[in-house]
Amino acid sequence: MEAQGNRQYEQACDAALGWIARLRSDDVSATDRQSFALWLGENASHRTAMDQMLDMWDDLGVLQVLPEQAPAELPREAANASRWYTGAAAIAASIMLALFLYPQLGTDPVSTEYRTAVGERLSIELPDNSTVVLNTDSSISVTYTDEQRHIDLRRGEAWFQVNPNKERPFHVDAGETRVTAVGTAFNVYLQQDATAITVTEGVVRVSEIVETGSHKPASKILSVNQQLRTSSDGWALSPPTDFSARLAWRQGELVADEMLLVDLVAELERYHNTNYLIADPSIAGLSISGVLQLDEPEAILKALEVSLGVQADTLESGTVRLLKAEQ
């Protein structure tokens, strides 16, 4: 078993030398680099061999005083140790070169995904100290390179606080829309039929993502307190408005200002795995105002009962039925 372990160690070192030769060649490919990374991580013995070589690096200074060949009068163990250290020096030097070269060879950018469940909010600090806050049932993919910072909003809603870096633009793609910011704060809500971009700080550029060169992409600059809705029907820019109430979800709040019951129900279904059914047409046009806690649906239903005279019944299916309270 010990002999087998020694052979594995020697094979790992030999393989490392082979990788060095390949990575230093003029025709090294991206596939080679990826394969090298896989080799480093595919077996613990590979990294163990490297670690052992690196640990010995300081000890290899004794080679400066060792003779090129072990004297005949040295015990066999000492002679073997001399030859072993000499070979180890070459292997360790090659491994050190591999570790030095590898970060410079470049690899394909790695994407990281973040997502939230229904009713969940998540604050994320990105590698450049920018911040993302994900709303309920949302998903993003984050890819950073030396040239740009790229976020793909795949579902839901997210608010971004971007750390300034003019040399490394910050892009957020949502459907067919791209939002570019250097240092600012903004919200992106990807809906089924439209995307809403709201600027809470600074300036952003919104542009179309066009697959072909036959159509010049539309582009618009947005400043603080502006909102742009993009859809297949065109772009609609709202007048400057204080959108802090609209973005109160970041604090777990829903700020209702004469909000129709039908719209309130739609918001509640965003944040809870519950179906709400307005069973009485006479209450459909009622509206409510106030600050509601999104994490407390029972309290919201109680508020409807007190302020609007709406009764909430939970059916066996779990659906909440809303109707006019009995007098």
Per-residue pLDDT of the chain (327 residues; tens, 9 = 90+): 555 556 666 776 667 666 566 666 666 666 666 565 665 566 666 666 555 544 443 444 434 444 444 444 444 444 444 444 445 555 455 445 444 444 444 456 778 999 999 999 999 999 999 999 999 999 999 999 989 999 999 999 999 999 999 889 999 999 999 999 978 999 999 998 999 999 999 999 999 987 655 667 789 999 999 999 999 889 999 988 999 999 999 999 999 999 999 999 999 999 999 999 999 888 988 999 999 999 999 999 999 999 999 999 999 899 999 999 876
Fold of 252-324: Phage tail protein beta-alpha-beta fold (3.55.50)
Dist CA 249 CA 255 (whole Å): 8
Look up residue 163 and give its DSSP letter. Answer: P
Do residues 239 and 227 touch, judged by C-beta distance below 8 A?
A: no
Give the rounded distance of the alpha carbon of 93 from its chain centre: 37
Written as six digits, the tokens of 235 are 């772009």
Q: Are strands 320-324 and 122-125 parallel, antiparallel or unpaired?
A: unpaired
Question: What distances in angstroms separate CA 151 from CA 111, 169, 184, one per listed residue?
Answer: 9, 11, 15
Top-level class of domain 111-237: mainly beta
pTM (global) more than 0.75: no
Dist CA 271 CA 11 (whole Å): 56
Written as six digits, the tokens of 6 are 């020694």
Asked, colleague to colleague, whether 111-237 and 252-324 share their fold, the answer is no
In the chain, where are the structural domains located? 2-105, 111-237, 252-324
Name residue 249's amino acid.
W
Residue closest to 234 by CA, chosen among 200, 208, 201: 208
Do residues 271 and 157 touch, judged by C-beta distance below 8 A?
A: no
Dist CA 113 CA 248 (whole Å): 24
